[in-house]
Chain A
Amino acid sequence: MVTFLEVMEKALSGKPCSERDYTLKIFAAKLKEIVKEHDIEYNPDVLVPSDNGLADDIFNAAFDFFVEVGGYCKDTERIIKFEEDEVKQGLRTAPSKVVFGDGQDSRTLIPRKPEDKSPPWCFLGAGGGPVSSEETFLSLVEGYASIPEANSITTPALTSVNGLRIRPRSPLEALGAIRNAVLAREAMKRAGRPGLPIMNTLATAESATSLAIALHPKHGLRTTDGYMIAIMDPMVVDFDRFNKVFAVLSLNAPVGACFDPLMGGYSGGPEGTAVANVAYHFLATLVYQASWHLPFPLHIKYVCSSTPELLWVISTSGQAISRNTHLLSLNLNYTAAGPLTKMCLYETAASVMAAVVSGLSIEALGVATNKYEDRMTPMEPKFSAEVAHAVAGMKRKEANQIVKDLLAKYMDKIADPPLGKKYQECFDIKSGKPSDKYVEIYSKVKEELKDLGVKFQH
């Protein structure tokens, strides 16, 4: 396995290249070529394909692409490349299980295969979505931790501390990150699940300095939490992110890599995005020594993962990874619509189904493109987790039809989606209970899914 020091050496001595040339002349150009060479084609009629050959073609294309192109280090302005044997060895020696959480909430994340009956890991919460106050943060996380299927929590991000808006790389950011950890632990205690792991590190710690400050154990973080570190699109890393990786590895804690190849961006269309999504897993395994992965491919225009192209990308790249490796991969989905809308639930159901039957676990979710303050509730991740458990073991062919039926219910609204309501308008923030109206919407959508063939466990 390539060591972290060897990665640094590669970052310092790789081929010099401007970022522009890497992104346009190397990454984008080669990806287009590889997609053509491997004859990979998006089929809008089959969004969850049962074709193992297609999944393997995408895997092989990603392998060839990664060996040819490598990743890019922004700080050294050099390409980080790996030999074929290094990639193969990295994939062979990557962890095939990781234990997260403490005490009664301790669970083991294991790999899955397409149509696998084993329940997917449910990493639930806000996906780092912004919240306006500590009170909202606490109430939301308590709600997330109360979801029975929750294996780990993805917290929201505080945008201010004591009324002061957080500034990047400032002590306010560090303070926000500390508060994020302290409040999340408190909320989980209130929910009676103190051992649940936080797996999005600290949504407010954008800089390595803030992460390092907040990592002190007295703030409540543990080595059994998951530490998610981003790779920028397209396969770009920098020293600040390396510092985060090094800080986490030095604690012997599990690094998770998150990455969002944009469909319509440098990766091109759905075919290129699927191939790139797989290649990101290789980069993360080797460069970050990631023991788990969090892909969240998004549509460049609609910033969600529920369009037909994105559902195909989730499914095919998920199958490519789960059929050909034992990497631990969880797909994060974003919806276009917001809470208290049927559309939001349809969208998350479609993305979650595409991921789970293709052999992935899930992180759920970014609601309403994850950009609006307080526009998320515990209802959307709860519903997503129920769908995820219900469809484990479902045949891809069956899932394909249900996903298409769901898509027909919302696709015409994707360009102008209903944003729904804020948390405070959908839930009683004190009792943590959803409004009658939201329960009614949830129940109706669940009935519709049952009619389509989803067998819920409860």
Chain B
Amino acid sequence: MSEEEIIGKLCEAVVACDMNAVVKAAKEAIEKGVDPVKAIENGLSKGARIIGDKFERLEIFLPELLIAADAMKAGLDLLLAKIPKDKTLKKGTVVCGTVKGDIHEIGKKIVAALLRANGFEVYDLGADVPTSKFIEEAGKVGADIIGLSALMSSTLAAQKDVIDYLKAVGERERYIVMVGGGPTTQEWASQIGADGYATTAPEAVKLALKMTKKMRR
């Protein structure tokens, strides 16, 4: 099987949401000496972008998106191990979660899956995350972005608490803070001093790409 065929298989397996097929193709790529960077960019990531677009058009639904994201991650773990440490492919590192007091996760899970599909390393802390946990985890993994989700108007203020806490401990400038979720608006994001806000998950990905690129300049 040629390099192109193996890469094509990786892409197809992600689009088919088939974890076993992704792992099999990734192992095959490694065995056949396919350049892991090419395998990731033209195989896994391409497949993930196709899945993201399909979800955006609602040709597939949330379960398929989440399963495809898992499949991609399984392949990524195998292929990344073959790339020299000094050669980084990732677009950035994101720590995200739903703020304290709020247990709603669906929107945040979609954003996390699409960020992964677009080359970000994502640490999803789940829901009802204590304020300091975001900061502790971001420090531990060297995050570029802290993503804060809230669905209820009564839990929205916990987004402000994370930003205020960052300021209080002198770490605000270290991270890009993005906010989102049901009642969040651009007005609110500006008011609490967030760096970014997006209405939809694909917009959040675009914004994350733009802001991490700007940060690296």
Contact = CB atoms under 8 A, between A and B. Distances in A.
Q: How large is the interface on A (under 10, 10 to 19, 20 to 34, 35 or more residues)?
A: 35 or more
A376 to B, nearest CB: 12
Contact of B153 (A23, A157, A266, A303): A157
A159 B154 contact: yes
B8 interface: no
Contacts of A28: 61-63
A264 B185 contact: no
Interface residues of B, number: 27
A157 B61 contact: no
Interface string A114-131: 000000000000001110
A206 B58 contact: no
B114 interface: no
A24 B106 contact: no
A29 B153 CA distance: 32
Interface stretch (B20-28, B71-79, B96-104): B96-104
A167 B153 contact: no
Contact of B62 (A159, A266, A369): A266
A206 B152 contact: yes
B62 A206 contact: no
A24 B183 CA distance: 26
A167 B200 contact: no
A168 B158 contact: yes
Interface in A369-393: 369-372
A363 interface: no
B104 A232 contact: yes
B66 interface: yes
A156 B155 CA distance: 15
Nearest to B66: A24
Contacts of B154: 157, 159, 166, 168, 173, 176, 204, 206
Contacts of A267: 61
A207 interface: yes
Interface string B83-119: 0000000000000000011111010000000000000
Contacts of A266: 61-63, 106
Interface string A322-357: 000000000000000000000000000000000000
Given A130-B153, A168-B101, A232-B104, A264 B61 contact: yes
Contacts of B137: none
B106 A265 contact: yes
B182 interface: yes
B182 A169 contact: no
Contacts of B18: none
B141 interface: no
Indicate the member of A159, A207, A370 with the most B CB atoms within 10 Å.
A159
Contact of B58 (A74, A264, A303): A264
B86 to A, nearest CB: 35
Nearest to A299: B58
A123 B51 CA distance: 40
A102 B154 CA distance: 29
A268 B183 contact: no
A64 interface: no
A238 to B, nearest CB: 7
A371 B61 contact: no
A165 B63 contact: no
Interface in A128-178: 128-130, 157, 159, 165-169, 173, 176
Contacts of A264: 58, 61-62
B208 interface: no
B101 A207 contact: yes
A262 interface: yes
B200 A24 contact: no
Given A157-B153, A169-B101, A206-B152, A268 B158 contact: no
A216 B185 CA distance: 34
Contacts of A130: 153, 183
B103 A238 contact: yes
A265 B185 contact: no
Given A74-B103, A168-B102, A265 B61 contact: yes
A269 interface: yes
A129 B66 CA distance: 30
Nearest to A156: B153
A458 interface: no
Nearest to A241: B103
Interface string A56-100: 000000000000000000100000000000000000000000000
Interface in B140-189: 152-158, 160-161, 182-185
Contacts of B103: 74, 232, 238, 240
B200 to A, nearest CB: 7
A233 B106 contact: yes
A300 interface: yes
A435 B155 CA distance: 33
A171 B133 CA distance: 22
- Closest 5 A/B residue pairs (Cβ): A168-B101, A28-B63, A130-B153, A165-B157, A168-B155
12 contacts: A129-B153, A130-B153, A165-B160, A167-B157, A238-B103, A262-B62, A264-B58, A265-B106, A266-B63, A301-B56, A371-B183, A372-B185
Given A206-B154, A266-B106, A303-B182, 13 more contacts: A28-B61, A165-B160, A167-B101, A168-B154, A169-B100, A169-B101, A176-B154, A266-B62, A266-B63, A268-B63, A300-B62, A301-B56, A371-B182
